[in-house]
Structure 1
Amino acid sequence: MSIAKILVVDDDPQIRRVMKATLVGHSYEVIEARTGEDALEALPHEMPNLVLLDMNMPGMGGLETCRAIRSGTDIPVIILSVRNTEKDKVAALDAGADDYVTKPFGIEELLARIRAALRRSPSGPDGGPHGFTASNLEIDFDARRVHANGKDVRLTPKEFEMLRYLVAHSGRPVTHRELLQAVWGPDYGDEPEYLRVFINQLRKKIEANPSKPKFILTEPWVGYRFAG
């Protein structure tokens, strides 16, 4: 099994040293970047499997860096920040982050978040549906391709996992907790803001009219349902 490579982006050299020592001690390969600009320069050469990105950096901040990363790649991004408001979390997720971890954090929590971000949905006979086809939506789960409303659509890994799970359970309500744990892992369940952001992003990408969705429906006080 290959070792996952993690890009740690933080302007504080002490934090980078501690993070590197900890992650290397848990069998990850680590590369470092001091600024958002350095991170963007390193991405095409180092090709990391995951980015740990500080939200509050001088120059190009964490959100701007995250948007730039997401515009060109679907590498998982975890935002690290001392801010703990729902507004800040939603802003990070809207920028394309896969997860948000508040400082200070325990190393076991961070490692669990990293494992969840690196996890990919299984494929094959036991890995859920192979595809879905409707009038304006075609999904090939094996090839990880989505075509909606006459154009190819690019989904982030978490968006793709969420869509796969909803399609696999088409026709029945999927609760908030069930969906969070299916996509992010068993340590999740109390992060409804994650679902709001990712569902809105999915609707914008696959629905002809996101404000009146045809496929991803809200089940009030329960969760969501895929109408296939």
Structure 2
Amino acid sequence: MKRWLSNRSVLLLGVILFALGIAVASWETTKFRESEYETFTEQSLQLASVFARSAQVWLIRGNEESLGFAANLMLAGSGQYVRIANGNEAVLDKRNGDPAIEALDLELDAISSVDIEPSTTLNSGRLDVVVPIEIANQRAGGIGIVQIGFSDTYAGAQVRSHRLLVFGLTGGSWSLLMLAAILVMRILTMRSRLASIQSPESFNERVIRCGALEIDTDTCAVRLCEQELELTPKMFELLTFLARHEGKTFSDSDLLAALWTEANYAASGDVKQCIYMLRRRLGVACADPKRIIVNVKGFGYRLEPPTEAELRND
């Protein structure tokens, strides 16, 4: 079976899924940030509008104590500064004590009667809300402003937490998908190997049959007429080599070069000794093992496939 899920394809699939996951996670966190800051802006504007209406009443009544108390309550929450101005004159200017906030220049251009809509400006770390109000006293009257700065710490923390959650889920999902792909690849590889091992072609490759002689190269088992023989590793190598080339004659030098490659001091006597011992083991199931491993005078040895009929006659 042709492998359709290779290491390269799994890696490519992983890169594509990772890039797609990052893109989706970035889009989702961007939408969440927009929604979170939109809600933050609406709530801040509502809170500033309520404060502005109350401040307008307190200014008309001259109740500066209530105005200051309400401003302090704003600063105790998410407010960073509260400023009420009439033209260039600051009626109230309270800040939370942060050096960066204390250094801010909060003066705005004078607001005309046309500019009566509240406005919001999102800066780094805060939201500036400006709400126009009518300020009237004995000296002058006109359009003033209530200017409040709200910290976006909570909204920013919500966005960061959501981003961590989304990217964590994305990374976890990607890891699970990659593990599943690797597991599937290994299962398919194992099935392919098992199928190749169990296939008739594979069986024919590992099992050598020469007449009544059967050699299993995987289990190193040798059977002659269904009788299992016990061979040493060198005997097994010699018999397997001759069986793979049945009918072909090999000299002592040929066998030394093929089977005794690591033995520097091996000689033809070692070949003859191994042939002799191998014939003795074959003699357990065959009366005349020289009919299996045949001597070719002046040339060497060859293996003749034994038949069960010939062995029974023996």
TM-score class, shorter:
0.3 to 0.5
Compute the TM-score of the two structures, normalised by the length of structure 2: 0.29
Larger Rg belongs to: 2
TM-score (norm 1): 0.39
Structure richer in helix, relative to its length: 2
